[in-house]
Structure 1
Amino acid sequence: MKVLVADLFSQAALEEMSNSGIQVIYNHALNGDSLKAVLQSEAPEVLVVRSTKVTGDMIASSPSLEFIIRAGAGVDNIDCVAASKNSIYVANCPGKNSVAVAELVMGHILSVDRRLPENYSLLKQGKWNKGAFSECTGIKGRKLGIIGLGAIGKEVSIRAKSFGLEVCGTDPFVSSSQAHALGIEYFNTAEEVARVSDIITFHVPSTPQTKGMINSSFLALCKENVVIINTSRGDLANETELLRELEAKPGFWYACDVYLGEPAAKECDFVHALAQHPKVYGSHHIGASTKQAETAIGLEALRMILQYSKTRKVDAGNLVNMQTTTKANVSVNVRHHGQALAGLLTSLVDCGCKVQEIENKPFRDGAAYTATVYLDCKNLECLQGIVAELNGKEGVIHANLVHLG
C-alpha cells in the first residue's frame, strides 16, 4: 500500500509505516496544484493531511485514492461530499489535540488579562512602563463560558477551574447532568452563556449553523468588557461586524488562532484587518501545533493506516462521511454454503432495488454462511419472486424477506 503524507507529521510514525512494508511519500510542502500533481503521478491509496486543503478536483483526479485522513480534529479542509461521491473514506483523529488547544486558550486568556504582548514589545524596545500594566483585572472568580463541550471544551474547563475561573457552557450533544458532573454550569443556548460570561471561548465545528455566529447580535448580549476567544474555525466570526464592535466597545477584546482567508502556505506575508487590529491577540493557527499533540495525532493516524493496510476497515469513531442511518426498507437474508449469491445483486438491480449494505459472515471452519442484503426497494412483488427463486437453488439452505421498521 502507498501512503502520501502532505503535511508535517511524526517522524516516528513515518518510520513505523515504512518498517511495516508501507510505501511512504512524505512532502509537507505540497498544496494546491503540486498536491494534485503528486496524487496523479504517485497514485496513493491513502492521503494524510493536517491543514492542507483537499479539493473535489484533486479527489476526482486520483482514482486510486481510497482513504483520506485528517491528522487532527474536524475535516473542513477536505471536500467530504466529493470524497463520498468517489467512495473514499474520510477520517480524523478526534480528541488527540484537545490538550494542546486548551493550553493555547489559557495562554490567550492570560495574555489579554495581563497584556503580555505589549509587555514583551516594550521590553524589546528598551522601555519600562510598569504603570501601564498595573490595572489588570485578574481571572480568579470570573466566569468563563464555553460554547461546545466536546473533548477540547472539557479540557479547557479543567484548566480554567484550576485558575479559579467559574465555568459555564452549552452544547446540543451534552446533557445538563453530564455538564454538572464535570463541574460546569449548563445553559441551553449560546445566547444564555453570552449574557453571564466575562470570557467566552468557542469550540464548535464549521457548519451552516455556526458560520458567522460571532456577530453583532451575539456581542450585543455580552458584557461590555467581554473577551472572546476563537481557536476553532475562522468562519465562526463575521469579521466585518467583529471589527465594528471592537471599535465601538473600548473594553471588548478578541483573541484568535484562526482567520477567514488565512494562508495555505506555512510561511508568507499576511495582511489581515482582524489580525493587525490593536485589540486582537492572534496566533498563527497553532492550536494543535505542539510536539505532544503531533505525537498523539501521528500515533492515531498510524494506527488507522496499519489497520487499513491489513483489513481495509476504518473504525466508526474516526469515520466522518459514512451514512449513520439506513435507507433500507427491506432485507434479504440468505443462509447458504458459499456459492448461492452469484447473480443475486444483478437480479436485485434488475428488480429496481438499491443495495444499501451487504453482510456475509462465515460459521466456524466455513461450514456455512449467513448473508444479509439491505435494500431500498419499492417493487416487493418482484423481490418476493427473487427470494422464492433463491430457495430453489443448490447451496441455499433458506432465504427470506424481512420488512424493516
Structure 2
Amino acid sequence: MTKVLVATEKPFAKAAVDQIEAIVKNAGFEFAKLEKYTDTADLLEAVKDASALIVRSDQVTAEVVDAAKDLKIVVRAGAGYDNLDLEACSAKNIVAMNTPGQNSNAVAELAFGMMISMARNAYNGTAGTELRGKKIGIHAYGNVGLYVAKIAQGIGMEVYAFDPFVDAEKIKADGVTPVGSVEELYSTCQYISLHIPATPQTKESINFDLLSKMPANAVLVNTARKEVIHEADMIKLMNERADFSYISDIAPDNKDEYAAFEGRYFFTPKKMGAQTAEANINAGVAAANQIVGFIKEGNATFQVNK
C-alpha cells in the first residue's frame, strides 16, 4: 500500500493534520506522521517504507533520500525548497515538489506588519511616518510579490517591480510599474520588499553597492532568505547610513552586531512568514492533494527537480 508520511519537526496545526490525513485515507493510502522529532535518526527510520513524504522546513538530505527505499515523491509544504536535496532526489528518480502560492498572503501581510511597525517607531510614543505616497519596489514578482503589490496599492503606495522572468505587460496589467534592472528598482524606491530565492546566483547578491543606491530613509524588508544578504556589507551600510533600516523575517547569523543600530532593525525570532492558521492548513492540504494527484494521475505540475 502507498504510505504517506508527514515528517515535521515543527508540526502542522492539528486542523491541517486532520485534513491531510483525511485526503490521504480517502485516496486509499496509508497515513503516518512523525512530529517534534529531535534526532535525524528518527526521520531516517520513519522514511524507510514511505512512498511519499510531506515536510515543512525539515532537511531532506541525501542521507534521508538513501534511507527512503520506496520513496517516489517528496513535497515541501511551502514555496521555498532549499531544504530539499534536489540532486539526490533526481538521482533516485524521486519527484520533488513545493506548494507555491499557499503561504503568499501570510508572507505579504507579515511584510507590511513589519513595515508599519518600523514606520511608527515600534509604537514607542514618538511621531513616525506614513506609507501612503511612498515608493515600494518588489524584487521578484511571484505569488508573494503580487500580494505585496495589492496591499501596497490599497495603502496608496507607488508600486514598482523587477523580475526578469515575468513579462512586463503582466506586471503592468496589475497596475504595477516594471523597471528594467535591479539597480533601477533600488535607486527608485524608499522601500524594497525582497522575495528572491536563495540560489548560487542570488546568495549574497544584496550587497553594499546595490543597497547604497536606495534613497533617503530607505527600508529593506526581507521575507525571502537570509543567505541572499551580504551580511558584512549590510553592517557596513548600517554604519555609514544612519537613515537606513533593515527588517527581516529571519535573523542573520551576525545579529548581535546590530545592537548598535537600535530602532533601525527588526528580526523575527524564527521564520514566521507562513505562521498563520490559514497558511498552515493551505500548504499542508495542497501537499496532500499534490501527492494524490501524482500517484494516481502522474500530475507533476509543481515538480522542482525537472
1:145-294 map, 5 Å: 145-260=137-252, 272-273=255-256, 278=262, 279-283=264-268, 284-294=270-280
The answer as to whether partners of 1:31 and 1:53 remain within 8 angstroms in 2 is no
Instruction: Give the stretch that moved more between structures: 275-284 or 44-53.
Output: 275-284
Shift of 1:217: 1.0
Q: What's 1:107 paired with?
A: 113
Return the letter of the residue paired with 1:321: N
Task: Give the Cα–Cα distance (whole angstroms) in 2 for the partners of residues 256 and 90 of structure 1.
Answer: 28
The answer as to whether partners of 2:187 and 2:215 remain within 8 angstroms in 1 is yes
Task: Give the Cα–Cα distance (whole angstroms) in 2 for the partners of residues 243 and 229 of structure 1.
Answer: 15
The answer as to whether partners of 1:224 and 1:249 remain within 8 angstroms in 2 is no
Shift of 1:296: 1.4
Task: Give the Cα–Cα distance (whole angstroms) in 2 for the partners of residues 305 and 73 of structure 1.
Answer: 16
Task: Give the Cα–Cα distance (whole angstroms) in 2 for the partners of residues 149 and 227 of structure 1.
Answer: 18
Q: What's 1:304 paired with?
A: 290
Task: Give the Cα–Cα distance (whole angstroms) in 2 for the partners of residues 148 and 233 of structure 1.
Answer: 13
Task: Give the Cα–Cα distance (whole angstroms) in 1 for the partners of residues 211 and 296 of structure 2.
Answer: 51
Return the letter of the residue paired with 1:314: N
Shift of 1:244: 2.0
Q: What's 1:332 paired with?
A: none
- Alpha-carbon displacement from aligned partner over 1:117-137 (angstroms, at most 9, x marks no partner): x63xxxxxxxxxx3xx11x12
Aligned match for 1:18, one of 25, 37, 42: 25
- Alpha-carbon displacement from aligned partner over 1:174-211 (angstroms, at most 9, x marks no partner): 12221111111111111101111010011111122211
Task: Give the Cα–Cα distance (whole angstroms) in 2 for the partners of residues 242 and 39 of structure 1.
Answer: 41
Distance change (3 Å), C-alpha of 1:229 and 1:137: same
Aligned match for 2:56, one of 47, 50, 75: 50
Distance change (3 Å), C-alpha of 1:105 and 1:216: same
Return the letter of the residue paired with 1:193: L
> Identity percentage over the alignment?
31
Distance change (3 Å), C-alpha of 1:32 and 1:226: farther
* 2:302 is equivalent to residue 321 of structure 1: no
Task: Give the Cα–Cα distance (whole angstroms) in 2 for the partners of residues 31 and 256 of structure 1.
Answer: 27
Aligned match for 1:38, one of 11, 35, 45: 45
The answer as to whether partners of 2:20 and 2:285 remain within 8 angstroms in 1 is no
Task: Give the Cα–Cα distance (whole angstroms) in 1 for the partners of residues 296 and 108 of structure 2.
Answer: 35
The answer as to whether partners of 1:274 and 1:280 remain within 8 angstroms in 2 is no
Q: What's 1:331 paired with?
A: none
Aligned residues between the structures: 296
Return the letter of the residue paired with 1:160: A
Please report the TM-score for the alignment, with normalisation by the length of structure 2.
0.90
Q: What's 2:94 paired with?
A: 88
- Secondary structure of 1:297's counterpart equals helix
The answer as to whether partners of 2:54 and 2:288 remain within 8 angstroms in 1 is no
Shift of 1:308: 3.2
Shift of 1:50: 1.0
Shift of 1:253: 0.5
- Secondary structure of 1:243's counterpart equals helix
- Secondary structure of 1:273's counterpart equals helix
- Alpha-carbon displacement from aligned partner over 1:259-289 (angstroms, at most 9, x marks no partner): 456xxxxxxxxx8336766322111201011
Q: What's 2:5 paired with?
A: 4
Task: Give the Cα–Cα distance (whole angstroms) in 2 for the partners of residues 250 and 297 of structure 1.
Answer: 39
Task: Give the Cα–Cα distance (whole angstroms) in 1 for the partners of residues 176 and 65 of structure 2.
Answer: 42
1:315-354 map, 5 Å: 315-316=300-301, 318-322=302-306
- Secondary structure of 2:151's counterpart equals helix
Say which structure, 1 or 2, has more relative contact order (CA 8 Å, 6+ apart).
2
Please report the TM-score for the alignment, with normalisation by the length of structure 1.
0.69
Task: Give the Cα–Cα distance (whole angstroms) in 1 for the partners of residues 144 and 42 of structure 2.
Answer: 30
Task: Give the Cα–Cα distance (whole angstroms) in 1 for the partners of residues 173 and 38 of structure 2.
Answer: 44
The answer as to whether partners of 1:275 and 1:282 remain within 8 angstroms in 2 is no
Return the letter of the residue paired with 1:37: L
Higher helix share: 2
- Secondary structure of 1:51's counterpart equals coil
Task: Give the Cα–Cα distance (whole angstroms) in 2 for the partners of residues 175 and 231 of structure 1.
Answer: 23
Larger Rg: 1
Distance change (3 Å), C-alpha of 1:6 and 1:154: same
